[in-house]
A and B are shown apart, each in its own frame.
Chain A
Amino acid sequence: MSALSLDGVTVRRGERVVLHDAGARFEAGRLTAVIGPNGAGKSTLLSVAAGLLPPDAGTVRLDETPIARVPRRELARRRAYLPQAPRVDWPISVERVVALGLTAHLPAFGGLSPHLRARVAAVLEQFDLAALRDRSATELSGGELARVMLARAVVGEPEVLIVDEPTAGLDPRHALDAARRLRALADAGCAVVVALHDPDLALRIADDAVALRDGVVVADGAATTVFTTKVLSALYDVEMRVVHDAHGASVRV
């Protein structure tokens, strides 16, 4: 079953073409890594896929329905989106921030039902945030905030999760932790789309990959076909080798 697909998507910013005729399919239960050098159009592709940026040409479909025709609240319940370096502007508690992920689930009047409250508690537990529940979100470390934001994104149990650079600014341990959590979500049946600037980390967790360069999809498909010495070297303009050894595959510069 295809959860989300992009077809012939073109985005212009003034005269500049940021995405050109881009296509991709993001399947349920699979983790797709969107890779490419800085300025390749990864974030734009993700915003379009999330239905937040209407493309100048092309279509985005969520289960064969054009995403522009999916009602706003229904879309918010079915797909979650985390932008790059998400932050919280007020010193709200961690629990409240996670609960904001249920905004589209709220009734027209009134607050969280006991059922939704239980879900917030379960997600806090799942992301090891129970101890931080009442901490103000502006006082968290980078790694903690990343976990809070991920919890906020998945608390609504979305079919599609789109995450832009979740590991930016994280040390290796926390980056790996974030990557493992995304992997687990895909294994649980969610279609996970994640832009990553680290090809080695992407190779570790991805089932599929989309390689972008200058707004053009230069390779896409199963991770094994995209993570090759030839594709990566051409993509990043540096010599890169994909090495298979006893510890699995890794990318060496």
Chain B
Amino acid sequence: MTRALTPALVLLVAVLFSASLAAGTIWFAPATLVRALLGGGVPLAHEIVVEIRLPRAILALLVGAITGLSGAVLQGLLRNPLAEPGLLGVSAGASLGAVIAIYYGFAATFALATPLFALTGAMATIAIALALSRRGGTLALILAGVAVSTIAGAGVSLALNLAPSPYAAYEIMTWLMGSLADRNWDHVVLAGPFILIGAAMLFATARALDALALGEAQAQSLGVDVARARLLALIGTAMGIGAATAVAGTIGFVGLIAPHVVRPLVAHRPGATLLPAALAGAAIVLAADLATRTLPFAADIKLGVFIAVFGAPFFLWLVLHLRRTAP
């Protein structure tokens, strides 16, 4: 089971990725799709596939993967199955940054203002959370994260409260719901490097996470630099989730659930959970984005909302089912 898991998830992600390129208002046959990707065929097909669907699919892949990965790392680091990227205030900080950009009209001035502000917000919150918990341990970190997250959330509420016009409030609300609509290569170029560097940092914690299953004292006695692992996990999460939130808004819940779905299949080893959790996260977001674009009733539902409404019950069932059946 364990050995087949990663290849199976890679295959699933590949299928969903290809389907994301082929499906939509206009459906493409595989042959047309390949020709469009290679630059030949009908100009319109090329335009749709390469300029609209490809960046969107790449973003869905990146956002889902980093969210699942970060959730798995944080759950292992904090030894808490309820941990998720939102817990440390990164998503809330990114949201606040984006809201500031929309509220003060920077978003109207240049297109990438919202993601840039969101990224700054994410970095600022994680810096504050780190500074507050510098001398404490894991619990101090969670508390600091929750505090920073609450403050950032209050800032978002305040902006909604004082919004100069209903339109501004609507724009903020829409952004907060999380979506991949109308994203282009600029967004990929902006978020991609941060997500990749963040992912590299998160993957580097794998062995420390395994040892941390025995608690911090034993992990340290086994030669694990716990402080370094914590720093890698936090900064990796800030960069990855900050960038993901910056381009896609808040996509909650994937970070919480993706690690739980795969954990029983890797014998609960925290380090071994990382890659499958990233793939599962990517599959969830790709599938959800595909659904919002193709299912007739879902056309007007934002991605973040769709994942919450349809994903949560399904994956809750899946986690409970796996817990009953897996050893």
Q: Give the distance to chain A from B228, nearest Cβ to Cβ, in Å.
A: 10
B217 touches A77 (CB 8 A): no
Q: Give the distance to chain A from B39, nearest Cβ to Cβ, in Å.
A: 38
**Residues A90 and B213 in contact in the complex (CB < 8 Å), given A96-B267, A103-B207, A106-B207:** yes
B210 touches A100 (CB 8 A): yes
A123-145 vs B, Cβ < 8 Å mask (1 yes, 0 no): 00000000000001000000000
With a cutoff of 8 Å between Cβ atoms, the chain B residues found around residue A75 in the complex are 223
Verify if B150 is at the interface (C-beta below 8 Å from A): no
**Residues A103 and B267 in contact in the complex (CB < 8 Å), given A72-B223, A83-B218:** no
Q: Give the distance to chain A from B78, nearest Cβ to Cβ, in Å.
A: 10
A81 touches B267 (CB 8 A): no
Output the residue of B210, B217, B224 with the most chain A CB within 10 A: B217
**Residues A82 and B218 in contact in the complex (CB < 8 Å), given A90-B270, A92-B268, A103-B210:** yes
Give residues of chain B (212-267) contacting chain A, Cβ–Cβ below 8 Å: 212-215, 217-218, 220-225, 263, 267
Verify if B36 is at the interface (C-beta below 8 Å from A): no
The secondary structure that dominates the A interface is mixed
With a cutoff of 8 Å between Cβ atoms, the chain A residues found around residue B224 in the complex are 103
Name A101's contact: one of B215, B222, B225 (CB within 8 Å): B222
Name A77's contact: one of B214, B223, B225 (CB within 8 Å): B223
Give residues of chain A (53-112) contacting chain B, Cβ–Cβ below 8 Å: 72-73, 75-77, 79-83, 86-93, 96-97, 100-101, 103-104, 106
A86 touches B215 (CB 8 A): yes
Verify if B79 is at the interface (C-beta below 8 Å from A): yes
**Residues A89 and B223 in contact in the complex (CB < 8 Å), given A83-B218, A96-B267:** no
Verify if A50 is at the interface (C-beta below 8 Å from B): yes
A92 touches B218 (CB 8 A): no
User: Closest residue of chain A to B209, judged by CB?
Assistant: A90
A87 touches B221 (CB 8 A): no
Name A72's contact: one of B207, B212, B225 (CB within 8 Å): B225
With a cutoff of 8 Å between Cβ atoms, the chain B residues found around residue A76 in the complex are 221-223
Name B214's contact: one of A73, A88, A91, A136 (CB within 8 Å): A88
- Give complex CA distance A73, B211 in Å: 13
Give how many A-B residue pairs fall within 8 Å (CB-CB). Answer: 67
Verify if B269 is at the interface (C-beta below 8 Å from A): yes
With a cutoff of 8 Å between Cβ atoms, the chain A residues found around residue B225 in the complex are 72
**Residues A92 and B267 in contact in the complex (CB < 8 Å), given A82-B218, A83-B215, A100-B213:** yes
With a cutoff of 8 Å between Cβ atoms, the chain B residues found around residue A100 in the complex are 210-211, 213-214, 222
- Give complex CA distance A136, B218 in Å: 19
Q: Give the distance to chain B from A161, nearest Cβ to Cβ, in Å.
A: 11
Output the residue of A88, A89, A90 with the most chain B CB within 10 A: A90
- Give complex CA distance A32, B126 in Å: 46
Give residues of chain A (171-213) contacting chain B, Cβ–Cβ below 8 Å: none
B207 touches A92 (CB 8 A): no
Name B268's contact: one of A47, A52, A83, A90 (CB within 8 Å): A90
With a cutoff of 8 Å between Cβ atoms, the chain A residues found around residue B212 in the complex are 89
A93 touches B267 (CB 8 A): yes
B267 touches A52 (CB 8 A): no
Name A92's contact: one of B215, B223, B269 (CB within 8 Å): B269
- Give complex CA distance A199, B223 in Å: 32
Q: Across chains A and B, which 4 residue pairs bring their CB atoms closest together, nearest first? A: A76-B223, A81-B221, A104-B223, A89-B79
Instruction: Report A's interface with B, CB cutoff 8 A.
Output: 47, 50, 52, 72-73, 75-77, 79-83, 86-93, 96-97, 100-101, 103-104, 106, 136, 152
| CB-defined A-B contacts under 8 Å, sample of 18 | A50-B221, A52-B217, A72-B223, A72-B225, A76-B223, A81-B218, A82-B218, A83-B215, A83-B217, A86-B214, A86-B218, A89-B214, A90-B213, A90-B270, A93-B267, A97-B213, A104-B222, A104-B223
